[in-house]
Structure formats: structure tokens, C-alpha cells
Amino acid sequence: MTETLTHFEPFPEPPDVILEYIAERSTQESMAADGPSPWDLGALSAELIDPMPAWLDSVCRWLNARYAWQPQDVIPPCWAKHEGLAYEIAALAFARQDAYKEAGSSVTWHEQYNRFLTRMIKMLAKAGDECRVGKHEERPARFQLAAWPTAAQGEATGSTGRVEEMAG
């Protein structure tokens, strides 16, 4: 009789430099204890961000191979070009590392994964169909974002003051 569960591949391990950083953050007397969380991509140093794309790409491939049964559930190969999606994938990957320490936590992670899919599908919308087949489309809402003045323009027109007034 053949063992049916022997073909299961393990979740990709984070790079050693990230594991070392996590271990260092867990010690009270460490300078890294006050450093950014490893899933906060925009806050990481060059040393920590450098290995992340390759690891997160392997995470995406692993998730797609195991969970993406429907076309809309596929994380597109251009995930890194969708900045919000990259942040979500990083958080999901680190959450999974912790989730499998307890059975109940792994159920919660699967619920988080389902919510991730909902947000990804909404984020990508129609552009996701093209992205998933390797035809990345730049951000469809770019024309709307271009309408926002730069910070310097906002200061010149006084809009920054009006926002501060509104905030109270």
C-alpha cells in the first residue's frame, strides 16, 4: 500500500537572515527588539528586504499549487508589482509560520487565507485576469491617483491646512 500523504511539500522556510532577525527581536536586550516587524516590507533595511522577493515568490508558488483551485484564486506572477498585494503576502506568510504551532491556530490561518483571497480578488479586479496569465497591467486607478496634488502642491494651495482643520 502506498502512503498517500508523502507527496506533501513543506511550506517554504524564511531566509536565514530573516530567521536570525526574528530570533534577535525576541530578546529583550536586543537593539532589533524595537525594529520593524519582518512583514512590514517598507520598513525593512536593505539587508532584510533583499532576500524577501525570492522567498515570497516561493510562498506564492506554494500557495497556488496547494490552494488555488479556481482561476481567481491564483496569486499572479506579477504579485510584487502590486505593492498592497506584496504587503498582504508577507503578512500571510509570517502568520502561517506561527499558525502551525497549534491546530486551532492553523484553522484561523485558513480563515485568514480566505479573507486574503477576497481582498486580492477585489484589489486586482478585472486586471487580475490578465495578470494571472502573465500580462501585467499597470495600476488601473493611476489616473485617479494623479489627481491628488503632491505634498508640496498641497502646502502651496493650503489644502494641508484644510485637512488638519477637518481632523480637528
On whether residue 4 sits in a domain, the answer given is: no
Residues 95, 133 within the same domain: yes
Residues 28, 106 within the same domain: yes
On whether residue 7 sits in a domain, the answer given is: no
Among residues 46, 44, 131, the alpha carbon closest in space to that of 90 is found at 44
Residues 153, 104 within the same domain: no
Total domains in the fold of the chain: 2
Residues 68, 86 within the same domain: yes
Residues 31, 90 within the same domain: yes
Residues 129, 167 within the same domain: no
On whether residue 150 sits in a domain, the answer given is: yes
Listed in sequence order, the residues at least 6 apart from 11 whose beta carbon sits closer than 8 Å to its beta carbon are 59, 62, 96, 97, 100
Residues 79, 25 within the same domain: yes
- Confidence band, pLDDT 50/70/90 cuts, at residue 163: very low
pLDDT in tens, 54-95: 999 999 999 999 999 999 999 999 999 999 999 999 999 999
pTM here is 0.81
- Domain carrying residue 122: 16-137
On whether residue 11 sits in a domain, the answer given is: no
Residues 45, 94 within the same domain: yes
**Cell reading at 58:** 516561493
Positive or negative: CA dihedral 23, 28, 31, 37 = positive
Residues 27, 53 within the same domain: yes
pLDDT of residue 98 exceeding 90: no
